[in-house]
């Protein structure tokens, strides 16, 4: 999360960590010096942790990794290399032991040879994988070309519907409810898309096209073969449904469609009734004079109670680490019940199976105590799509541009999708290195 939440129970949870780290797996303890004698001190070891994007703050790293690891294993020191990129560390020949990586970037770093299957370590160190959300574990394997368990899912993103209660009250319209379909949400948006005086109130902003695609497990470019099939019925369905949102009279944001910041429209301009997007709770709790709440993310009728794909941060052990068992001990601590509950309290949603982890999410934050936070968990991530391609970002931009042309009436839906597919294929052919 972008900002640490002040949780009064955090210190209590950390202090209560059990010596065995809950059900996080049994670590190998130092061998005894002799029969009945004290354990032989383990050799000191320093592990280097890197991240591919800014997932971890220094504060979260200290609270959820450095301090609990030192408590469990005094001989292990984990150093957080925030200022050095992995590519530079590789070029320098620096040690890399742990890597925090978004699943969408796994193919890119897989191509660098940075990952290896941790399944043998899981078995040797007796990590209980049944504690994890099985869909999240499958998504880790689906996120790489080899289909291997390169790491464990540490933080999972969610999608939700946020709404401005004052706008609904102003126009005498009932608040959004859990279990709505996209069509239900669009019809509700019509009722609160109005102009009052000099203010144009927008009923619904879906944030970005990906929010509509991923519940259908549509990933734009298949990372296993770097091919696209956007000129197809599933994408046509998304284009046509999303266009209905912008066809509501008065519901187009200033500038271009899917441009600017939906968060700013909701939190700063305060003229947006509903936004459907990712976790914004850390920012929302600090917004003054905004009477907001949260509801379950809208669903497709044939995919009820599903929101975005498994969008996760994964903790992996580097293939070049010289201390893989010690690195795995770090994972055992990080994925212990105690630390995962503490992370959930701090706003880092675990990818664990037991509902107690969702129930602990942001628990104890006074500014959120009256919000319907648990509505979020009535939906689950959609089944994992094929792995992201290294060409995903540019391909996504092409698809969104053609969607804008479709909404603006410059081309029909079939032409927009056909041209998007042609442009994406041409881009991949140009950029893909020849064998």
Please choose, from the candidates 322, 307, 327, 364, the residue with its C-alpha nearest in 3D space to the C-alpha of residue 158: 307
Q: Where in the chain is the domain with CATH 3.40.190.10?
A: 10-157+311-359, 159-309+385-431
Calpha distance 214→34 (Å, rounded) = 58
Q: Backbone dihedral region of 258: left (phi > 0), alpha (psi from -120 to 50 degrees) or beta?
A: left
199-252 residue pLDDT tens: 999 999 999 999 999 999 999 999 889 999 999 999 999 999 999 999 999 999
User: Which residues lie closer than 8 Å to 381 by C-beta, 6 or more apart?
Assistant: 135, 136, 139, 156, 158, 306, 307, 308, 309, 310, 311
Calpha distance 107→191 (Å, rounded) = 44
Q: What percent of the chain has pLDDT over 90?
A: 79
325-341 residue pLDDT tens: 999 999 999 999 999 99
Task: Indicate the burial class of 87 (C-beta count within 10 angstroms; 0-12, 13-18, 19 or more).
Answer: exposed
Q: What pLDDT, on the 0 to 100 scale, is given for residue 40?
A: 62
Q: What pLDDT, on the 0 to 100 scale, is given for residue 3?
A: 36
Q: What pLDDT, on the 0 to 100 scale, is given for residue 36?
A: 47
H/E stretch holding 307 reads strand 306-309
Tell me which fold the domain 10-157+311-359 belongs to: D-Maltodextrin-Binding Protein; domain 2 (3.40.190)
Tell me which fold the domain 159-309+385-431 belongs to: D-Maltodextrin-Binding Protein; domain 2 (3.40.190)
CA 164 to chain centre: 24
Q: What pLDDT, on the 0 to 100 scale, is given for residue 34?
A: 36
Taking all residues of the chain, what is their mean pLDDT, rounded to a whole number? 89
391-432 residue pLDDT tens: 999 999 999 999 999 999 999 999 999 999 999 999 999 998
Query: What order do you get walking across the sheet with 76-80 strand by strand?
Result: 76-80, 45-51, 98-102, 312-317, 151-156
- DSSP E strand boundaries for 311-414: 312-317, 380-382
Calpha distance 145→111 (Å, rounded) = 9
pTM recorded for the entire structure: 0.86
CA angle 69/53/160 to nearest 5° reads 95
Q: What pLDDT, on the 0 to 100 scale, is given for residue 315?
A: 97
User: Which residues lie closer than 8 Å to 153 by C-beta, 6 or more apart?
Assistant: 103, 132, 133, 136, 137, 139, 140, 310, 312, 313, 314, 351
Calpha distance 275→262 (Å, rounded) = 7
Q: What pLDDT, on the 0 to 100 scale, is given for residue 435?
A: 60
Report the half-sphere exposure of 48 (CA within 13 A, side-chain side): 18
Alpha helices in 274-336 (DSSP H): 281-284, 324-334
Question: Can you tell me the mean pLDDT for 172-177?
Answer: 98
What is the number of residues in the chain? Answer: 435
CA 112 to chain centre: 23
Structure tokens at 73: 């294993």
Calpha distance 21→332 (Å, rounded) = 7
Structure tokens at 67: 């301090």
Q: Confidence class of residue 41 from pLDDT cuts 50, 70 and 90?
A: low
Please choose, from the candidates 265, 292, 287, the residue with its C-alpha nearest in 3D space to the C-alpha of residue 199: 265
């Amino acid at each position: 999360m972008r900002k640490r939440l002040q949780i009064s129970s955090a210190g209590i949870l950390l202090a209560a960590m059990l010596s065995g780290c809950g059900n996080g797996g049994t670590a190998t303890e130092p061998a005894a010096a002799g029969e009945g004698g004290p354990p032989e001190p383990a050799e000191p070891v320093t592990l280097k942790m890197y991240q591919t994007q800014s997932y971890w703050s220094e504060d979260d790293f200290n609270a959820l990794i450095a301090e609990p690891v030192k408590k469990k294993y005094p001989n292990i020191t984990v150093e957080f290399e925030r200022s050095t990129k992995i590519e530079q560390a590789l070029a320098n020949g620096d040690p890399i032991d742990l890597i925090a990586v978004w699943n969408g970037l796994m193919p890119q770093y897989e191509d660098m040879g940075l990952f290896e299957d941790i399944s043998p370590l899981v078995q040797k160190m007796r990590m209980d994988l049944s504690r994890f959300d099985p869909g999240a574990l499958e998504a880790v394997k689906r996120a790489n070309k080899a289909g291997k368990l390169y790491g464990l899912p540490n933080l999972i993103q969610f999608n939700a519907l946020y709404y401005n209660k004052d706008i609904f009250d102003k126009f005498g319209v009932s608040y959004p409810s859990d279990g709505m379909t996209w069509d239900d949400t669009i019809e509700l948006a019509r009722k609160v898309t109005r102009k009052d005086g000099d203010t144009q109130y927008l009923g619904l902003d879906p944030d970005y096209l990906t929010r509509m695609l991923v519940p259908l497990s549509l990933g734009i470019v298949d990372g296993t073969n770097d091919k696209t099939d956007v000129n197809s019925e599933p994408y046509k369905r998304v284009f046509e449904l999303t266009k209905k949102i912008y066809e509501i009279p008065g519901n187009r944001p200033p500038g271009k469609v899917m441009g600017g910041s939906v968060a700013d429209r909701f939190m700063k301009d305060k003229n947006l009734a509903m936004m459907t997007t990712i976790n914004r709770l850390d920012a929302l709790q600090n917004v003054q004079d905004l009477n907001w709440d949260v509801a379950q993310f809208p669903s497709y009728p044939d995919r009820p109670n599903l929101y975005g794909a498994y969008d996760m941060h994964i903790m992996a052990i580097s293939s070049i680490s010289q201390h893989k068992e010690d690195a795995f001990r770090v994972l055992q601590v990080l994925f212990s019940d105690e630390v995962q509950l503490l992370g959930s309290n701090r706003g880092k949603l675990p990818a664990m199976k037991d509902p107690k982890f969702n129930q602990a999410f942001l628990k104890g934050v006074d500014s959120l105590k009256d919000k319907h936070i648990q509505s979020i968990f009535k939906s689950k991530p959609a089944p994992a799509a094929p792995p992201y391609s290294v060409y995903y970002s540019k391909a996504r931009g092409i698809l969104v541009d053609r969607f804008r042309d479709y909404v603006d009436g410059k081309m029909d839906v079939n032409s927009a999708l056909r041209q998007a597919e042609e442009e994406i294929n041409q881009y991949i052919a140009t950029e893909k290195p020849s064998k």
